[in-house]
């Protein structure tokens, strides 16, 4: 891996391209239900998926059904719940079993009182995403933040969960061992992808993505931090989804489709 060049990745190199969704392929929007894949990102994924020996994955903390509605690309592998749920090309689904669901419900019950306190803070929106819980605080007024932050710290100290911070959101993974790094490792096993021989490229924008970025970089891969919030040594920072399209397109030799999106 050490001697592998990091210039361009073209035909003939077996490659795995993994993209977060919110903030990476879709601009961050005030209403998360309105999030849509950027047209240039959609064309990029289609172009990558057409290349022989290239696998394209969208890995999100959203549930798989929600993600599938936003990424209607049949050749693209979809990973929901940070890699607990999968939809493969051809429609095959992979889901966690009953023991994982039982553990999730036990953890959820222990968090309910704290989540109720958070939900009563003005401007806070608690979103149940099935396998994780997102605490959105984009609309919290500055004078209310001193009420919010101690509760988020308490949440971060809770047993059996892991909390990842993103732009105006705290994501609570209800199974502590699940992260985007878990998701990348899982899809490598599913498709028989060997990171010691092949190339992985990962793009994301928050601290959950940062865990995956570090894992990919340690294996000689390439990581992109969209917006620069996820500060990972060695990751390439790009400003927004359009800048990501241009950087990945140059890396893969896929010319960007201009579309009608913001430049």
Is 98-173 a CATH 3.30.1360.100 domain? Answer: no
Distant-in-sequence, close-in-space partners of 135: CB < 8 Å, separation ≥ 6: 118, 124, 125, 126, 127, 152, 155, 169, 170, 171, 172
**Helix pair 180-191, 207-218: axis angle to 10 deg:** 50
Q: What are phi and psi of 24, to 5 degrees?
A: -115, -60
- The angle formed by the CA atoms of residues 17, 100 and 215, to the nearest 5 degrees, is 30
- Does the annotation count 125 as an active-site position? no
- Name 126's bridge partners: 135
pLDDT in tens, 82-127: 999 999 999 899 999 899 999 999 999 999 999 999 999 999 999 9
- The angle formed by the CA atoms of residues 165, 167 and 168, to the nearest 5 degrees, is 85
Domain boundaries, the chain: 15-96+179-252, 98-173
Match domain 15-96+179-252 to its CATH number in 3.30.70.260, 3.40.50.1000, 2.30.30.240, 3.40.50.300: 3.40.50.1000
pLDDT of 1 over the 50 cut: no
Rounded to whole angstroms, how far apart are CA atoms 81 and 109?
19
Q: Which of 20, 198, 205, 206 is catalytic?
A: 20
Percent of the chain with pLDDT over 70: 93
With residue 152 as reference, give the H or E element that holds it.
helix 145-156
Binned at pLDDT 50, 70 and 90, residue 24 comes out as very high
Taking a C-beta distance cutoff of 8 angstroms, is the pair 208, 182 a contact? no
- Name 121's bridge partners: none
**Nearest alpha carbon to residue 234 among 252, 251, 210:** 210
Question: Around Cβ 92, how many Cβ atoms within 10 Å?
Answer: 9
Alpha carbon separation from 241 to 196, 203, 205 (Å, rounded): 28, 10, 10
Alpha carbon separation from 121 to 89, 150, 168, 172 (Å, rounded): 42, 12, 14, 18
**Rounded average pLDDT over 14-33:** 93
At which residue do the structure tokens 């608690």 appear? 126
Question: Around Cβ 113, how many Cβ atoms within 10 Å?
Answer: 9
**Nearest alpha carbon to residue 225 among 202, 250, 242, 245:** 202
Which pLDDT score is estimated for 12? 57
Taking a C-beta distance cutoff of 8 angstroms, is the pair 157, 111 a contact? no
Rounded to whole angstroms, how far apart are CA atoms 126 and 118?
8
**Nearest alpha carbon to residue 204 among 220, 188, 184, 186:** 184
Taking a C-beta distance cutoff of 8 angstroms, is the pair 8, 253 a contact? yes
User: Whole-model pTM above 0.85?
Assistant: yes
pLDDT of 14 over the 60 cut: yes
Which pLDDT score is estimated for 152? 96
At which residue do the structure tokens 């998926």 appear? 49
């Amino acid at each position: 891996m050490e001697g592998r060049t990091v210039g361009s990745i073209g035909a003939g190199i077996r490659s795995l391209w993994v993209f977060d969704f919110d903030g990476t392929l879709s601009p961050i929007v005030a209403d998360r239900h309105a999030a849509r894949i950027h047209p240039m990102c959609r064309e990029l994924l289609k172009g990558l998926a057409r290349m022989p020996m290239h696998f394209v994955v969208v890995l999100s903390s959203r549930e798989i059904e929600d993600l599938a509605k936003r990424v209607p690309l049949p050749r693209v592998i979809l990973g929901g719940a940070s890699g607990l749920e999968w939809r493969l090309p051809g429609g095959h689904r992979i889901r966690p079993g009953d023991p994982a669901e039982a553990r999730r419900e036990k953890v959820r019950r222990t968090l309910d009182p704290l989540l109720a306190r958070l939900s009563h803070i003005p401007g806070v929106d608690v979103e149940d995403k099935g396998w994780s819980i997102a605490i959105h605080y984009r609309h919290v007024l500055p004078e209310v933040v001193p009420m919010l932050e101690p509760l988020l710290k308490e949440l971060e100290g809770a047993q059996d969960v892991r909390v990842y911070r993103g732009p105006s959101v705290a994501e609570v993974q209800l199974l502590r061992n699940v992260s985007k790094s878990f998701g990348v490792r899982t899809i490598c096993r599913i498709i028989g992808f060997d990171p010691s021989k092949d190339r992985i490229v990962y793009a994301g924008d928050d601290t959950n993505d940062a865990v995956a970025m570090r894992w990919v970089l340690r294996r000689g891969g390439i990581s992109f931090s969209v917006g620069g919030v996820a500060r990972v040594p060695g990751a390439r920072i790009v400003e927004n989804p359009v800048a990501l399209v241009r950087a990945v397109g140059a890396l893969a030799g896929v010319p960007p489709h201009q579309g009608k999106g913001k430049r």
